């Protein structure tokens, strides 16, 4: 596990882009947790085109008709804590069983919005999954 604390625009995203590529190359899935939909959309639009990574946004704005397709075709999901807690974790899907990396972006903002990200990660890790957290 790793925590990176550097100023804005100093390259933190490059670190987790590499970790994402490395994880998907090992046939594991990645969850990127972001505090806002705008940040999630920005990450999606700037994510490098790695051949082993198929990235999608899965949040409250994602149409119900495409959610199962995303889980079948994507190995990197950008989401927020609410969607992870209320929509993804209850599925207990094979997709979640293959998670190898959780990235928490803008971690300094989580306490101020009152979400217990630590508890959420523990729920993903249950069932003895070995997951790295960045």
Asked if the model's pLDDT at residue 112 lies above 90, the reply is no
User: In terms of Cα–Cα distance, which of 95, 87, 105, 125 is closest to 30?
Assistant: 95
pTM of the model: 0.86
Nearest residue to 57 (alpha-carbon basis) of 90, 19, 83 = 83
State pLDDT tens for residues 4-17. Answer: 777 777 777 777 88
Give residue 123's pLDDT: 74
- Quick count: other Cβ atoms within 10 Å of Cβ 109? 13
The neighbour count for residue 42, using CB atoms within 10 Å, is 14
Task: Report the alpha-carbon distance of residue 21 to residue 51 in Å, rounded.
Answer: 9
Percent of the residues in the chain that have a pLDDT greater than 70, as a whole number: 89
Q: How confident is the model over 72-92, as pLDDT tens digits?
A: 999 999 999 889 888 888 887
């Amino acid at each position: 596990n790793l925590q990176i604390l550097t100023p804005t625009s100093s390259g933190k995203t490059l670190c987790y882009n590499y970790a994402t590529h490395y994880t998907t190359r090992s046939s594991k899935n990645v969850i990127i947790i972001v505090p806002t939909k705008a940040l999630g959309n920005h990450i999606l639009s700037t994510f490098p085109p790695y051949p082993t990574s198929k990235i999608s946004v899965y949040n409250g704005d994602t149409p119900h008709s495409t959610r199962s397709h995303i889980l079948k075709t994507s190995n990197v999901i950008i989401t927020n804590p609410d969607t992870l807690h209320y929509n993804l974790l209850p599925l207990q899907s094979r997709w979640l069983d293959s998670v190898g990396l959780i990235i928490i972006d803008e971690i300094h903002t989580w306490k101020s919005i009152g979400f217990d990200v630590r508890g959420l990660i523990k729920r993903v890790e249950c069932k003895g999954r070995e997951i790295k957290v960045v």
